[in-house]
């Protein structure tokens, strides 16, 4: 059975004080054993260090929201995977729709980052998902296949699994763009259909074993009210949570819903 994985993406929110307070509340509430469910928070870059301090004695993992594909050099404002690893980061979120659609990242850009992050020993949460226009045009599977193959181009199955800290190196996150921050959510059936399609494409490209082992999170207006129904789907292995991860009162019930699945 794939271990559920709930990750909170704080995006460009919190202060040092509020972020550390939030991390502390989550760390205190999550069981210290990671045998059942993995939990991660991804604060803004400036707060990685202080949040890591709050998580130090807990089972909650530390995530970053982005990285660059070079180890070092004259790349003003960028952060390398090696720098993140130096800060005890476990996973980095790559290919998020906001980076694709607001900041113009291409599948080629994301592929370079995925490759560099894995080589640096980081786990990767690779985000894929369609816009409303693409869904209405019946292009969801085409978009998912293109983003998956583009993001993982040139990578072999043994580079995508096998573990940072006992975790799989690659996690996918299906995040329908039309459901992010809009209050709209894919129905459990829609989420399951997309997750099953992604698992099938993994099997085609990287083998049945990797496909069966890879966790696929759902991301798109996940809330305490809909988490249990979404997480009950057979191919939904957790959640990538945005707005609801900004308060312990909303995030922890989603974590509890994941524990209820095991």
Q: What are the tokens at 41? A: 């928070």
Q: Contact 243/16 with Cβ under 8 angstroms?
A: no
% of the chain beyond a pLDDT of 90: 87
Q: Contact 5/254 with Cβ under 8 angstroms?
A: no
With 50 as the cut, is the pLDDT of residue 165 above it? no
- 29/42 Cα distance (integer angstroms): 17
- 51/72 Cα distance (integer angstroms): 24
What's the pLDDT score for residue 164?
A: 42
pTM: 0.96
What's the pLDDT score for residue 185?
A: 76
Residue 118 CA: distances (Å) to CA of 106, 108, 123, 125, 242: 18, 16, 6, 11, 24
| Averaged pLDDT, 161-186 | 76
Q: Give the three-state DSSP class for 130.
A: coil
Tokens 């070079």 correspond to 70
Q: Binding site for substrate: residue ranges? A: 9-11, 181, 221, 242-243
Other CB atoms within a 10 A radius of the CB of residue 262 amount to 11
| Averaged pLDDT, 96-120 | 96
- 258/262 Cα distance (integer angstroms): 7
Q: What are the tokens at 68? A: 């660059």
Task: Report residue 75: phi and psi, to 5°.
Answer: -130, 75
Active site positions, annotated:
96, 175
DSSP for 73-98, please give it: SS-TT---HHHHHHTT--EEEES-HH
With 70 as the cut, is the pLDDT of residue 203 above it? yes
- 112/200 Cα distance (integer angstroms): 24
Task: Dihedral sign for Cα 8, 237, 92, 151, please.
Answer: negative
What's the pLDDT score for residue 32?
A: 77
Rounded mean pLDDT of the chain?
94
% of the chain beyond a pLDDT of 70: 97
Q: Binding site: residue ranges? A: 9-11, 181, 221, 242-243
Q: Binning pLDDT at 50, 70 and 90, where does residue 86 land?
A: very high
With 50 as the cut, is the pLDDT of residue 93 above it? yes
Q: What are the structural domains, with CATH classification, of the chain?
A: 5-259 (3.20.20.70)
């Amino acid at each position: 059975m794939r271990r559920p994985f709930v990750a909170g993406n704080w995006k460009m929110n919190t202060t040092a004080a509020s972020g550390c307070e939030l991390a502390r509340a989550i760390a205190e509430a999550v069981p210290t054993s990671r045998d059942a469910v993995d939990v991660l928070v991804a604060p803004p870059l400036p707060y990685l260090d202080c949040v890591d301090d709050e998580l130090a004695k807990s089972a909650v993992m530390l995530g970053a929201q982005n990285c660059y594909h070079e180890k070092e050099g004259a790349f003003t404002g960028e952060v390398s995977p090696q720098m993140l690893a130096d800060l005890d980061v476990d996973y980095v979120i790559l290919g998020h729709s906001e980076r694709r659609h607001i900041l113009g990242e291409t599948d080629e850009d994301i592929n370079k980052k995925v490759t560099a992050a894995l080589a640096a020993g980081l786990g990767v949460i690779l985000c894929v998902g369609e816009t409303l226009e693409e869904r209405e045009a019946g292009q969801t599977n085409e978009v998912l296949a293109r983003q998956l193959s583009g993001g993982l181009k040139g990578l072999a199955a043994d580079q995508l699994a096998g573990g940072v800290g006992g975790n799989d190196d690659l996690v996918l996150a299906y995040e329908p763009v039309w459901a992010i921050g809009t209050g709209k959510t894919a129905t459990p059936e829609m989420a399951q259909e997309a997750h099953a399609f992604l698992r099938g494409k993994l099997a085609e490209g990287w083998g049945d074993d990797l496909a069966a082992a890879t966790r696929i999170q759902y991301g798109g207006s996940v809330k305490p009210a809909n988490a249990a129904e979404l997480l009950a789907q057979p191919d939904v292995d957790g959640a990538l949570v945005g707005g609801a991860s900004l308060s312990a009162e909303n995030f922890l019930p989603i974590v509890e819903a994941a524990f209820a699945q095991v």
